[in-house]
Each structure stands twice: as C-alpha cells, then as structure tokens.
Amino acid sequence: MDLHLRHAAPTDQERAAVDALLGPPTSSWLGGTRGDVARDTHVAHGGRETREQRHLLLPALEALQARVGWISETGLEYVCTRLGVPPADAWGVATFYALLSTTPRAPRVLHVCDDVACRCKGAAELIEQLERKVGPAHSHGPHGDHVEIDPHSAVWMRSPCLGLCDQAPAAFLQQAGDARHERLVGELTVERAVTLLQEPPPAFVPHSDMPKQLVYSMEHRRPFFMQDDSPLMTETSTLRLPQDDNDAPQHRGLLDRIGIVDPTDIAAYRNTGGFDALRRAIELGPDAVIREVIDSKLMGRGGAAFPTGRKWDAVAKQSAHPHYLICNADESEPGTFKDRVLLDGDPFAIVESMAIAGFATGCERGFLYIRGEYPLGASRVQHAIDEARKHGFLGGNILGRGIRFDIEIRRGAGAYICGEETAIFNSIEGFRGEPRNKPPFPVQAGLFGLPTVVNNVETLANIPAIVLNGGQAFARIGTEESTGTKLFCLSGNVERPGVYEVEFGKTVRDLLDMAGGVTNGRKLQAMLLGGAAGVFIGPNDLDIPLTFEGARAAKATLGSGVLVAFDEAVDMKQILLRIASFFRDESCGQCVPCRVGTVRQEEALYRIASGKTIGGVSGEIALLDEVGLAMKDSSICGLGQTAYAAIESAIHRVGLLNGKSEIHI
Amino acid sequence: MSLTIDGRKVSVREGTTILAACREIGIEIPTLCFLETLHPINACRICVVEVEGGRVLVPSCSRAAEEGMVVHTQSSRVKHSRKLVLEMLASSVDLSTTPQVAEWIEEYEAKPERFGPPAPPAAPGTRDASVPGHHAPPNPEFAATVAEPAKIDNDLYVRDYAKCILCYKCVEACGPDHQNTFAIAVAGRGFDAHISTEFAVPLPESACVYCGNCIAVCPTGALMATTEYEKRAAGTWDESRMTTTDTICPYCGVGCTLRLHVDDGVIVKATSPLENSITQGNLCIKGRFGWRFVQNRDAVPGGNGAGNGDGR
Ligand SMILES: Cc1cc2nc3c(=O)[nH]c(=O)nc-3n(C[C@H](O)[C@H](O)[C@H](O)COP(=O)(O)O)c2cc1C
Ligand code: SF4
Ligand code: SF4
Ligand code: SF4
Ligand code: FES
Ligand code: FES
C-alpha cells in the first residue's frame, strides 16, 4: 500500500505534539527533513515495522487534540506518515470519538453532563441558564485548515454521564495547548461554569509537586482540600465516601485504603500490605492462583457477571502466544462511578492486581484502558506503574524471579462502546471502536488476534484479597452465588450519593437507606438498576436482593452496580428520552438494528413527549416493543441488545408512560 | 459434520457457514452485506437465523455450522427481525436500485412508512460534518433518513450515499480485501456514520485510483458508473434490452476477463464476473472505464483510428 498524502507540512505545534509521543522521525520517509538522515539515500523506510505501530494511532490523535485543540488535515497527515496509516482510515478513527474534534474548536471546552443522575440535580435547568448566559452549545466549527482560533476562547458542549454522578451536576474541563489541563468538576453551578469558561485553568500539577501533608489526613477520609480555588482542590474532589458518615471508617475491603493511604506513595501502599499478594501469587504459581480465583467464585463486576476464574483458566490454557491482559476502566455506563474511586484512590492496588492476573494467565503485557474523562485516574495509575517498575513489581524481572509483565495505559476519547470487550481491542489497536463478531471469543482471539483476558477494574481489585486469604475465605463472604463485597453507585435524588461497599445480600432498600433515603423526604418514583443498559423498578420493588441470582430472579440486573433514585418530581419522560438519546449517540453504527433502531426508539419517545404520536401512546409503545425486540435479538453487541431494556421496563414494569398499574415480583 | 436446518438433516464440511449449508439444500436466505469474495462483516443482520440454545439470533452469513446445531430459518423471531431490518433500512435509505429488496419487503410484510414520512435530504456536507456523540433532537414530523444530494465530483462514477446501507463492502474492496488503496472508510458514528474520504475531500483529491472495485461490490447502486447513472436519470436504463459479452481486457498482460454490458450496440458498463478466479470481479481503471474510445463518435477524421465513428 502506498500512502496517498497531500504533503502539506504540519505546524511546529503539531509536529511537536506527535514527536513527543513517537520520538523524532528516523527518516525523511517518515516525515523527517530530507538530508538529515544519511541512511535515507539507499533505504526505504516504512512497511511492516511502521504499520505495527498502529496501536499508537489513538494516543497520537489525542496528543494532537491536547496540544492544538483539534485535529487538522496537516496534523492528521503527519500522524499517518509516522504510523503508515492511510489518511481516510485515520479519518474514520478520528471521527469516531466524541472528545476529538476534526473541525477547528476553541482550546477550552467545558463538557456539561446532562445525563440521568445529573438531571435529578438540576442539570437541565443549569444548561438552560448556560444557554441564556453564554449562548448555545458548540456544535462544529467551520471546515478548513488552520482557521484562526482565539487561544483564550472557550465553548461548552453537552455530555453523557461523566462518572461523577455522586457530585452532580458534573462537568469535564479540557484545556488544550501548552498549559494543557483536564479535570472533572463536581457540583457545578452556572456561575462556576461561566468562570471556568472565562478564566484559564491553573496549570497541571504533577504528583511529585503535590504538597503531601495537605493531601492526606489520616483521621478523615474527606475532605482533603477545603479551599475551592486551590489548584489541587479538584485533584481530590473526585473522592468522597459518604459511607463514612454512617460508620466509622472500618474494614470493608475494596475501599480500605481509599482516602486514608496516599495513592501516590508506594511506601504507604506497601506499609498497608501492598504487593504482599503479588509476592504470594508468585510463590503459589499460576495454576494455584487460578484455582484460588475459581474457588472464590468471583464474578465479573463489569456488567456481564462472567466467572473470572473460568476466564483466566481459558486464557492460561491457550497455546497461542503472547497472551494479553486488559483492565477495562472505560466506565461509561450512565450512573457508574465506582471504578473512578478505585483508580483515583488506590491505583497501586490496580497495578498489583493486574500484575497478578498477568502472571496467572501467562501475559507479559497488559493494557489499562481508561475513559478519557478520567485524567486524574490516568495520571495516578501511570505514576503507580512507574513507581512499581522502579521497585521491581513490574518490568522484566519482577521481584527478582525473572517474571516479565508490564502495563501500558490507553486513554479512551469519548465512546461508551469502547468498554465493550471486543470494541476495546479495536480501539487499542488503532481502529474504530466497533465491536467484533463473536465467536471467536476474546479468550481465543482478542487483542491483536491473540488470547486475551478482559476484566473490569473492580473485578481485578478483588484479586489481592483472594490470593492472600484464599478463594474459599472469599467465597464465604456474601451469598452462595454472589461472593465477596460489591461496590454500589448511589446517585440521583438520594441524601448522600456515593459509592457504598457492602457484602452481597443487601436489598435495594438497604442501600437506599444507607444513602439516607430520598432527598428532602420526597416520595420515590422509580429507581434505575444497572445503568442505561439496566432496568427501572418501582417503589414496590425495593426488596429485590442485590445479588446476581436475586436480580436475575426478579428479572432485573446488577449491571455495573448502579442505583439511581428518581423522586416524584422528576419528569420521567425526559429521563427515558435521555436514555434513548444516549444509545443513539453511542451506537457505533455498525449494525442496522442498533444504528437505525436507536433512532426510531428515540423518535417514538420524542413523539410521546411532544404529544404528536403516531397511533396514540399505545401505538408508539407497540412500535417501541417491535423495534426493541429486533434490537435485542439481532444486534451484534450488548449495546444494541440492551438499548431497549431500561425503556421497556419503564413502560411495562413501572408503567411510567401510561399510568399502567405497576407490575412487581 | 451434520446439523439440522428447519427439521432437515444436512451434512457439510467443517467451516461451512450456516448460509452455505442452507443454500446447499435450497433454503433461500436474504443477504445484503454478504459477498463471497469479501470478509463477512455481518452488519446488516438481514440473514439472521435462530439457533436453538442461543440467547440471540445469529448471522448465518458468517456463523460456522457446528455439529448438532439445530437451526430455524423461518421462526417468528427470525421473521420479526428480518421484517424490522427491512423496515429500518427502507425507512431511512433509498432502496430503489437495490435488487430483490422489494420482494423481501412484500414477503416479510414490512411497512417502512409506519415510522412516519421520510425526512427530506440534508444539505450537502451536513452528514459529513456530523459530530460523534451529539445529534439534533428528532423532528416529530419525520422519520430520520440518510438522504443527501449525490456526490458528483469526477467523470467516472457517482456516489449517491442516500442509497447507502453502510454494508462496508466498498471499504473492504478498496482496502484490505482487494484493492489495498484505502481511499474510503467509514467515518462518524451511529446513525451519522457514513462512507468518506479523509476530511471528506472530493474523490479527485483522495487516494482513489478509479478501479471501480467498490462499484462492483456495492449492493444498492449507491456507487454507480456515471454512464449508468446518467442513463437512469434520463430514464433510458433498461437491463432487459441489454446484452453482455465476455472478452479479455486488451490493455495489459494480466488479461482480466471483461464483461461488456451493451445497449443497442453501445457499451454502457464494464464489469468482470465475480466468479472469475483471476479477477474475482475486480478490474483496474483501464479495464473498468477505458473503453470509451471504442465508440468515440466524435473521433477526428484521419485521427488515430481509435474509433470508426459509429461505435460498432
Ligand atoms: C456497550 C458496553 C459497554 C461496556 N462498558 C464496560 C465498561 O466501561 N467497563 C467494564 O468493565 N465493562 C464494560 N462492559 C462489559 C465488558 O464487555 C466485559 O464484559 C467486561 O469488561 C468483562 O470484565 P468482567 O468479567 O471483569 O466484568 C461493557 C459492555 C457493553 C456491551
Ligand atoms: S449493537 Fe450497536 S454498538 Fe453494537 S455493534 Fe451493533 S451498532 Fe455497534
Ligand atoms: S456505498 Fe454501497 S458498498 Fe459502500 S457501504 Fe454503501 S451500500 Fe455498501
Ligand atoms: S483491467 Fe487493468 S489489470 Fe486487468 S487486464 Fe485490464 S489493464 Fe490489466
Ligand atoms: S456524571 Fe452526570 S449522570 Fe453521571
Ligand atoms: S448478510 Fe449476513 S449480516 Fe448482512
């Protein structure tokens, strides 16, 4: 293949951004200056070696976005030259991700969440005010290369759930340029939004520069910072454990270190038992570790509830090599924010867990794929990886035992679908994040076509305890089929939103009570279980046990552990419409039932909400049912298959659209 | 290995798809995105069948038959999904030049109009400029469509994406499966996904080499040689009147089989048979488009003799 390029030179900024990631070009064939490199004269560069770097395409596009604020034609071409990717192909990738802009855009962007949990906290009203005060949301800029952009300009856009639902309304601030800055902002007010748009954010503070004594207070898990304008404030504002309001900090499990142990200090991690499990795992050997995980009956926490031990065993037994490990930190299911708390608050534990998983399943390379909206988590985990490597817990000779394993971080760029276990492969490999057809399954042919373990962050976070205390001890916690503890994400109209860790066996009501019940003593209208891909339940369904088997029996799902409460004042039609709009936006577009079905579904709900139905509300519901069944039966992946689940339950289980009497189990 | 399809036992070789197994025993299954010469992308989902024990339906075009599989090709779930896929496509895409689809719509009793009247075409370039993760609210008066004006930016072929079902065939043919040129790709996301060159530049500025191998695989007529496009626009395209002649391309030593489609003594299109083992339906720009001299009616008298003036 010859690359067809227009050979317009990248700007200095663009070249610098890409070279910072890929290193300077080694040849004029790869975008270097002709004559600089003597060996160019008789050798052609490129080919396979270059193309094998394709997995750096998304990081390179992100580098351009972060430095320039958008991806121009010359910038894209330069990336294509360096990586041997055809420009049309790279264009297809660049236009797949919501956090990348392929038209000129202001360097500062405030992504304001208008998803379901934030709507319970006034996000829709906030956005209306924002529209009045600063004008409409940015849609897309004029086409054309290097349109002059005011370096101080700012725009805002709507965003799906940002994983900060406990601090709703939430926003994500992106500042491109030399003073690159990214952060999540909680408890957004319109005044604060206007300030964020007007004032350049403080420069990014690397961990090493953080004054430690300010960061951690041993007595209180929170708040770490009091001053709202402290540049470090937001560094920790993402962590909040309201469970401590109920109980004194006590042994719980996954949340043990959160807010107590400095997440940037490897010594502090080791002083609290860190890396003991890795040492123990190496003593036990891979087979024994897998046996413990099987004995623990640990089920995946990412949504599909697949037994982790069986997955590991299947990969370990594959003869094709190398094997790969992926820690799925894409966490984009609306209402989910538990993985963020683990990534921000206990990053060494994720690194250690990945090292154990990699060791047990015969991987030498692991990827942590984290959603682009979690910059703090990404930098904390990167720091933890670097520290772990320095101390011999990662790298070519782990603990002096000749074991190899290392981790690379890949940041997503705004695509829920990339959390799907096969879409994540395509995204990492530098292709559009489109799910693959199964079979073959990831354990047989996953990342780069090789056997791959994909596990959720929370799933992996359980591993050290299993290795240290044994699988059977773990299996004794919780219920017969749901072992261990589970993180639940309480948000919406509850008194104390946040992540709650409980042993399996509690009911929805228990969790709702722990979170202080419905805000202001209002009546509960409905709850969303398991996220946008989950189900709604009514106020009479609160005794559903939050176990895999209990949820299954009640025709519900735990999904990723989401519990969003909606009080009687919430306009549920708007909530259903938002969910439909989410699926329409997040469908990859590959298969017809999902690509068109999510549009037809949103249209029907929109007609219901605007009172312009085809065939009355019952006609629209019949239409929704038919479209929903086809999506469920014939879509390629879980997104399309569950795109109607929540809406169907809202209509037929809770009776939210037509006042039908509630059916409960 | 043997499996049961609609109650009939079938024995097939390992690796055979369910679709191929069905065809062996004469069971017809509609397909759109499937083509023997391309990697199955299984995106259109019209070929789904029900496999007993499975949670969801499976695409027969790519799922390999397994020992003991029990397959139903006409269950109510299958019929429902096929009907809905047809309704979804027909309500959002212009299928007027997609062969067979009208019969299927009748067979499955699909009623695409029940989603509302189709939305009018978008202004040129609107779909190219879609922003992933964002879309305008629906219009309660219309069912959304992919309609937009045809892209006519070169003399050889037309890209009328209002007819595109996003089957990925052209992308595969241009890229990894045949041509290795990678001039086009799927861009955008969800309903706004569309086939595009980089930055949506016109074809002459793109990497396109005009082999037309994308046209050869396009199942909907979204990609069409200009000669055919113009005759259709003029209402003078009538396949029943045409004859085809297979010959050998005169240009180079590869010797591709050319199939000339001739209407009243005039070549109106050149293709190559899909089943030809050398071309697999592919040609290069010369074979695909380089025959106009044969019938150059305006040849200069005493010129190079390339045309005799009446094209015969
Ligand atoms: C549309 C879609 C999005 C998903 N997003 C995530 C995600 O963000 N994080 C995650 O862990 N799993 C996600 N999953 C589930 C994964 O496909 C996969 O089952 C999971 O990562 C496996 O890990 P586990 O066994 O540890 O749960 C998603 C699934 C679908 C269908
Ligand atoms: S179901 Fe939706 S998200 Fe999944 S492959 Fe199909 S179009 Fe893409
Ligand atoms: S242009 Fe034709 S071949 Fe290409 S995706 Fe559309 S329908 Fe398929
Ligand atoms: S179509 Fe192209 S490759 Fe084939 S014989 Fe003609 S000139 Fe040669
Ligand atoms: S952050 Fe807004 S809904 Fe989750
Ligand atoms: S023909 Fe099988 S999915 Fe399209």
pLDDT tens, position by position, A364-375: 999 999 999 999
Which residues of A196-236 form beta strands (DSSP E)? none
Q: For residue B164, what is the nearest residue in chain A, using CA coordinates?
A: A592
CB A94 within 8 A of CB A61: yes
| Phi and psi torsions of B115, nearest 5° | -85, 0
Both tokens of residue A571? 């306009």
Both tokens of residue A489? 């994400």
* Cα A538 to middle of ligand 6, angstroms: 39
Span A41-55, mean pLDDT? Answer: 71
Scored b (16 or more CB within 10 A) or e, B136-149 reads eebebeebbbbbbe
Q: A301 and A410 share a domain?
A: yes
* Cα A539 to middle of ligand 5, angstroms: 22
Tell me whether residue A582 is in a domain: yes
pLDDT tens digits along B61-72: 999 999 999 999
Q: What letter represents residue B267's amino acid? A: I
Give pLDDT, residue A259. 84
In the beta sheet, which residues pair with residue B48? B59
Q: What share of chain B is helix, strand, coil (3-state, %, to 5)?
A: 25, 15, 60
Q: A594 and A529 share a domain?
A: no
Q: For residue A622, what is the nearest residue in chain B, using CA coordinates?
A: B114
Mean pLDDT is lowest, of A150-154, A503-507, B193-197, for A150-154
Q: A80 and A153 share a domain?
A: no
Both tokens of residue A11? 């700007």
Tell me whether residue A346 is in a domain: yes
**A589, A606, A636: residue with CB nearest B190:** A589
Largest interatomic CA distance in chain B:
75
Residues 6+ apart with CB under 8 A from A533: A303, A333, A557, A559, A638, A639, A642, A643, A645, A646
CB A60 within 8 A of CB A18: yes
Chain mean pLDDT for chain B: 94
Q: A142 and A85 share a domain?
A: no
Q: Is A23 left (phi over 0), alpha (psi -120 to 50) or beta?
A: left
* Cα A20 to middle of ligand 4, angstroms: 45
Q: For residue B141, what is the nearest residue in chain A, using CA coordinates?
A: A612
pTM of the model as a whole? 0.94
Q: A276 and A416 share a domain?
A: yes
Residues of chain B contacting A415 with CB distance shorter than 8 Å: 132-133, 189
* Cα A553 to middle of ligand 5, angstroms: 29
Pocket around ligand 6 at a 6 A CB cut-off: B 31-34, 42-47, 59, 61
Q: A345 and A433 share a domain?
A: yes
CB A418 less than 6 A from any atom of ligand 2: no
Span A469-474, mean pLDDT? Answer: 98
Please state the length of chain A.
Answer: 665
Q: Which one of B46, B146, B164 would you pick to mutate in the ligand 3 pocket, going by the greatest count of ligand atoms within 8 A of its CB?
A: B164
CB A298 within 8 A of CB A484: yes
In the beta sheet, which residues pair with residue A395? A405
CB B283 less than 6 A from any atom of ligand 4: yes
Tokens 């008194």, residue located: A495
Is the per-residue pLDDT at A227 higher than 90? no
**For chain A, first and last CA: distance in Å?**
60
CB A336 less than 6 A from any atom of ligand 1: no
Give pLDDT, residue A238. 57
Tell me whether residue A100 is in a domain: no
Residues of chain B contacting A636 with CB distance shorter than 8 Å: 42-43, 45
Residue A199: band (very low, low, confident or very high) from pLDDT cuts 50, 70, 90: confident
Give pLDDT, residue A216. 40
Give pLDDT, residue A281. 98
Residues of chain A contacting B62 with CB distance shorter than 8 Å: 437
Q: How many domains does chain A have?
A: 5
Tell me whether residue A333 is in a domain: yes
Give pLDDT, residue A233. 38
Span A214-218, mean pLDDT? Answer: 38
Residues of chain A contacting B132 with CB distance shorter than 8 Å: 95-98, 414-415, 585
Give pLDDT, residue A260. 85
Q: Tell me, what CATH number does A589's domain have?
A: 1.20.1440.230
CB A637 less than 6 A from any atom of ligand 2: yes
Give pLDDT, residue A209. 45
Domain of A58 in residue numbering reads as: 12-94
Q: Tell me, what CATH number does A149's domain have?
A: 3.40.30.10
CB B131 within 8 A of CB A111: no
pLDDT tens digits along A314-356: 999 999 999 999 999 999 999 999 999 999 999 999 999 999 9
Q: For B2-74, which CATH class?
A: alpha beta
Residue A230: band (very low, low, confident or very high) from pLDDT cuts 50, 70, 90: very low
| Phi and psi torsions of A579, nearest 5° | -65, -40
Span A58-77, mean pLDDT? Answer: 96
Chain mean pLDDT for chain A: 90
Nearest to A589 by CA among A143, A95, A101, A102: A95
Tell me whether residue A123 is in a domain: yes
Task: Please provide the DSSP assignment of B164-183 as one string.
Answer: ----SHHHHHHTTTTT----
CATH for B238-312 is 2.20.25.90
Tell me whether residue A618 is in a domain: yes
Mean pLDDT is lowest, of A25-34, A272-281, B262-271, for A25-34
In the beta sheet, which residues pair with residue A370? A329, A411
Give pLDDT, residue A202. 67
**CB A95 to CB B132 under 8 A?**
yes
User: Which ligand 6 atom lies nearest to the CA of residue B45?
Assistant: 3
**Last-in-domain residue among A534, A567, A600:** A567
Alpha-carbon distance B201 to nearest alpha carbon in chain A (angstroms)? 10
Whether B72 and chain A come into contact, CB under 8 Å, resolves to no
Is the per-residue pLDDT at A45 higher than 60? no
**A76, A585, A641: residue with CB nearest B135:** A585
Strands B48-51 and B58-59: antiparallel
From the CA of B286, the nearest ligand is 4
Cα separation, B251 vs B287, in Å, equals 7
Residues of chain A contacting B193 with CB distance shorter than 8 Å: 588-590, 595
CB A300 less than 6 A from any atom of ligand 1: yes
The residue nearest atom 8 of ligand 2, judged by CA position, is A588
Whether B224 and chain A come into contact, CB under 8 Å, resolves to no
Q: A433 and A550 share a domain?
A: no
Whether B119 and chain A come into contact, CB under 8 Å, resolves to no
**Last-in-domain residue among A552, A567, A582:** A567
Whether B226 and chain A come into contact, CB under 8 Å, resolves to no
Give pLDDT, residue A246. 61
Span A402-428, mean pLDDT? Answer: 98
Residue A226: band (very low, low, confident or very high) from pLDDT cuts 50, 70, 90: very low
Residues of chain B contacting A574 with CB distance shorter than 8 Å: none
Q: For residue B47, what is the nearest residue in chain A, using CA coordinates?
A: A634
**CB B182 to CB A588 under 8 A?**
no
Q: Where are the domains of chain B?
A: 2-74, 116-126+143-235, 238-312
* Cα A635 to middle of ligand 2, angstroms: 6
Tell me whether residue A412 is in a domain: yes
DSSP 8-class letter at B131: -
Calculated CA dihedral for residues A271, A272, A276, A277, nearest 10 degrees: -160
**CB B134 to CB A160 under 8 A?**
no
Q: Long-range pairs for A258-261 at CB < 8 Å and ≥24 separation? A: A258/A221, A258/A341, A258/A342, A258/A345, A258/A346, A259/A220, A259/A221, A259/A222, A259/A224, A259/A345, A260/A216, A260/A218, A260/A221, A261/A216, A261/A346
Q: A562 and A590 share a domain?
A: no
Alpha-carbon distance A103 to nearest alpha carbon in chain B (angstroms)? 9
Q: How far, in whole angstroms, is CA A567 from its chain's centroid?
A: 27
pLDDT tens digits along A114-136: 999 999 999 999 999 999 999 99
Tell me whether residue A211 is in a domain: no
Q: A344 and A433 share a domain?
A: yes
Alpha-carbon distance B188 to nearest alpha carbon in chain A (angstroms)? 5
pLDDT tens digits along A573-629: 999 999 999 999 999 999 999 999 999 999 999 999 999 999 999 999 999 999 999
Residue A231: band (very low, low, confident or very high) from pLDDT cuts 50, 70, 90: very low
Instruction: Work out how many CB contacts closer than 8 A connect A with B.
Output: 204
pLDDT tens digits along A80-97: 999 999 999 999 999 999
Residue A207: band (very low, low, confident or very high) from pLDDT cuts 50, 70, 90: very low
Residue A493: band (very low, low, confident or very high) from pLDDT cuts 50, 70, 90: very high
Give pLDDT, residue B299. 55
Q: A325 and A403 share a domain?
A: yes
CB A421 less than 6 A from any atom of ligand 1: yes
The residue nearest atom 12 of ligand 1, judged by CA position, is A302
* Cα B164 to middle of ligand 4, angstroms: 28
Whether B186 and chain A come into contact, CB under 8 Å, resolves to yes
Q: A325 and A281 share a domain?
A: yes
Is the per-residue pLDDT at A109 higher than 90? yes
**Last-in-domain residue among A156, A186, A204:** A204
Which residues of chain B form beta strands (DSSP E)? 2-5, 8-11, 48-51, 58-59, 70-72, 157-159, 185-187, 194-196, 223-225, 243-248, 257-263, 266-271
Alpha helices in A526-637 (DSSP H): 548-553, 572-586, 592-610, 616-634
Q: Tell me, what CATH number does A550's domain have?
A: 3.10.20.600
Mean pLDDT is lowest, of A50-59, B114-123, B181-190, for A50-59
Span A514-533, mean pLDDT? Answer: 96
Span A175-188, mean pLDDT? Answer: 91
User: Which ligand 3 atom lies nearest to the CA of residue B217?
Assistant: 3
**CB B198 to CB A414 under 8 A?**
no
Q: CA–CA distance from A355 to each of A162, A463, B33, B207 (Å)?
A: 28, 10, 42, 44
- Which of the listed CATH numbers 3.30.230.10, 3.40.50.300, 3.30.70.20, 3.30.70.2190 matches domain B116-126+143-235? 3.30.70.20
Residues of chain A contacting B95 with CB distance shorter than 8 Å: none
Span B45-68, mean pLDDT? Answer: 97
Q: A557 and A590 share a domain?
A: no
**Count of other CB atoms within 10 angstroms of residue B107:** 15
Give pLDDT, residue A180. 85
**CB A91 to CB B132 under 8 A?**
no
- What is the ipTM score, two decimals? 0.95
CB A557 within 8 A of CB A530: yes
Residue A140: band (very low, low, confident or very high) from pLDDT cuts 50, 70, 90: confident
Is the per-residue pLDDT at A519 higher than 50? yes
Give pLDDT, residue A657. 87
Cα separation, B39 vs B223, in Å, equals 20
